[in-house]
Amino acid sequence: GVAPGDPNAFTVSVAELEFLGSSLRVDLTGQALGGQTLTADLSVNLMRELELEPGHDVTVRIPPERIALYASGGG
């Protein structure tokens, strides 16, 4: 599991879930994100394992090699 003290780990809240067939898009928010929303694509199996639901807090860890940043559509 992920502990809050792990490198690149932080606690966020599940804001929204969007099912995309065999995967799930999750919007995460929280103080650790400085007002930004983090969007992650997960397998449905992982979503069930983590028992993700809107409003639940979860500690996540993002390996540096898995990070991809995109500009927002707001220009």
> Which whole-number Å values give the CA distances from 41 to 2, 5, 75, in the listed order?
18, 23, 23
CATH number at residue 29: 2.40.50.100
Stated pTM of the model: 0.77
Question: Residue 7: what residue type?
Answer: P
Report the C-alpha gap between 18 and 69 in whole angstroms.
20
Asked whether residue 3 is domain-assigned, the answer is: no
Is residue 26 over pLDDT 60? yes
The pLDDT confidence band at residue 30, using thresholds 50, 70 and 90, is: very high
Asked whether residue 39 is domain-assigned, the answer is: yes
Asked whether residue 34 is domain-assigned, the answer is: yes
Angle (CA) 23 37 2, round 5°: 65
Q: What total of structural domains would you count in the chain?
A: 1
Q: Would you give the distance in Å from CA 55 to the centre of its chain?
A: 12
Asked whether residue 29 is domain-assigned, the answer is: yes
The pLDDT confidence band at residue 12, using thresholds 50, 70 and 90, is: very high
Asked whether residue 44 is domain-assigned, the answer is: yes
Asked whether residue 69 is domain-assigned, the answer is: no
Across the range 8-21, mean pLDDT stands at 92
Is residue 67 over pLDDT 60? yes
Supply the range of the domain harboring residue 18: 9-63
